[in-house]
A and B are shown apart, each in its own frame.
Chain A
Amino acid sequence: MSNALRLLRAECLRVFGDVKNYWLNYLLGNINVFFMFFGLFFAFSKNQGTSVDKLLFLFGLMYWYFGTHAIDLVSLLMEEEIQQGTLEQLLMTRVPLAVSFGFRIAAQILFDLCKGLLVFGLCMWAFGIEFALAANLRFLLSAAVFFWGLAAMYGAGYIVAGFSLVYKQASSLASLSSSLILFFSGTTIEISAFPPAVRLVIQCFPFYWSNQAIGQILRGQTDSLALCLCMLALEFVLWLGGGVWMFHRCLDRIYRSGTTASY
């Protein structure tokens, strides 16, 4: 436990060292996120729904923003390490790279949580969502499911990060996920509007089950909640396990090719 805390502290030191240098980028970035959410809220006429509908939409937007971020973050961190020339030093530490990146992600989530709370609160006020909705157990459960689904997306992040060890600019793959999550997660367009084959593909991604579960929790309709949570758990294991496996395969490849310091 103390080892985990030490690693988390080390990564927080690194993340906040970054924030110290680029604080203006982060500040303006947050304001930009708020305006984007605000625009989408009216673009999809969500202002006419109930408070729960608006809250669900907000969760969907947060998932879109942070889910996309989850996929590209690990590969961006990896590309940054390679470009900075610090990857080899990181590989040489006593902590496996996948683990140290895991803690870096945790530190980043903590940082994103601070950012997210600010944007979330601002959006609740701007969207006219009753603040009482955020002060009950259902909301806390929804937040927990949100982070669970988000963690599964980091599995996809590990896959892209593995590719970025081998191929230059592999993080551009992550940009695909942006439209995918925005339009195919049920946030902006109802899933039922898509053909069955597309619906099947959408169900292979954790954001579908996460959003379904959050919707059921917030609406108090728990008839298929157990199925949603089981599927989310299964996809969490598959995506994260598969992601870390692929990451190690790519790492092994660069150990063989001798390109730990370059692409």
Chain B
Amino acid sequence: MKIEVCDLNKSYISRTKTTHALAQVSFSVGEGEILCILGHNGAGKTTLIKSICGLLKPDSGDVRIDGISAVQDTAYAHRKCGAVLEGSRNIYYYLTAYENLQYFGMLNGLSQKQIRADAGRYLELFDLAAFRDVPANSFSRGMQQKLAITVALMKRPEILLLDEPTLGLDILSSESVIRLLLELARDKKLSILITTHDVHLIEQLNCRLIFLNQGKIRCDSSLAELKQEARNPRYRIAWQTGTEPLPEDAQIRQRQNDILLFETEDASWLGGHIAAPQLVQIEKCSQSVAEIYKEVMGCV
């Protein structure tokens, strides 16, 4: 395993209260695996990310990268991880895009030739090539975020930690980030950990999900498995209207002439009407990420 998180605990103590940010958190991430960490605000996602990259020391437990403790050897964790942390700018605003990449590239031991090659590739990929020599302070929020991701990639990390990577990105930029992440995991075998609230990103990555609630893991499963295991499957039904009453939870989506399109979770009603002549079509709906999230977190 590339990353092993073992019984991680972290509390923040202030004069008035103690907040348990992480409680007995354990999981592992393989090489080339993408893992999305979901949770409400303050669930402990950023604390977890920072513990993995060695920016935060846990109260107890360990994070091992290639078997080496990131808690004991923070420099090793810093070397292996590239990170874009939410709330930080991650780039120097008064330097140009290329100067930022050059600066961080040099600090990460890259030669000028390597910097030129990587910078050229990523600036092109994120449509920033035309803004190569423009100071980052004149960039839009999305452009700055793309540059921050590029800076994290410039160190050629083995682990990529992204805290809200698509925040502020337009649809096309978001798509290019998704494509890049899939490519990095598949071709470069990068282990990627993402915290996000972007359901579109999660759907597109179709990866393993960890749901974090009040510092504890509520669920650790792949999106595909979660969709299959959905506790209350939902059905989309095309129904020829008549006198027959609809299920109580029916959500009407469309009405065309005498055909009604509605959704229901009432399996017993469906069982009783499966042979009914009014039933034109039946289809099992796939649960959305938001619905799965609410179900796992107990918000329904």
Contact = CB atoms under 8 A, between A and B. Distances in A.
Q: How large is the interface on B (under 10, 10 to 19, 20 to 34, 35 or more residues)?
A: 35 or more
Interface in A1-43: 3, 6-7, 9-10, 13-14, 17-18, 21
Nearest to B106: A10
Given A86-B92, A255-B56, A258-B50, A93 B87 contact: no
A89 B106 contact: no
A243 to B, nearest CB: 20
A226 B62 CA distance: 52
Contacts of A261: 85, 87-88
Contacts of A13: 95, 99, 102-103, 106
Given A17-B92, A17-B99, A93 B155 contact: yes
A10 B57 CA distance: 29
B57, B75, B107 — most chain A CB neighbours (10 Å): B107
Contacts of B56: 255-256, 258, 260
A94 B78 contact: yes
Contacts of B78: 91-94
B65 interface: no
Contacts of B88: 85-89, 261
B106 A258 contact: no
Interface in A83-116: 84-96, 100
A96 B75 contact: yes
Name B's interface SS.
mixed
B107 A9 contact: no
Given A93-B155, A255-B74, A17 B95 contact: yes
Nearest to B51: A258
B69 interface: no
A100 to B, nearest CB: 6
Contacts of A257: 12
Given A10-B107, A94-B79, A84 B92 contact: yes
Interface residues of A, number: 31
B55 A100 contact: no
Contacts of B89: 84-86
Given A89-B90, A255-B74, A260 B106 contact: no
Given A258-B50, A261-B87, A18 B94 contact: yes
A258 B57 CA distance: 7
Interface string B37-62: 00000000001001001111100000
26 contacts: A9-B106, A13-B99, A13-B102, A13-B103, A13-B106, A14-B103, A17-B94, A85-B88, A86-B89, A88-B90, A89-B85, A89-B152, A92-B53, A92-B55, A92-B81, A92-B83, A93-B78, A93-B107, A93-B108, A94-B108, A94-B109, A95-B107, A256-B56, A258-B10, A260-B50, A260-B56
Interface of A: 3, 6-7, 9-10, 13-14, 17-18, 21, 84-96, 100, 252, 255-258, 260-261
Interface of B: 10, 12, 21, 47, 50, 53-57, 74-75, 78-79, 81-83, 85, 87-96, 99, 102-104, 106-109, 135, 151-152, 155
Given A10-B106, A17-B94, 6 more contacts: A7-B107, A13-B95, A17-B99, A84-B89, A86-B91, A89-B152
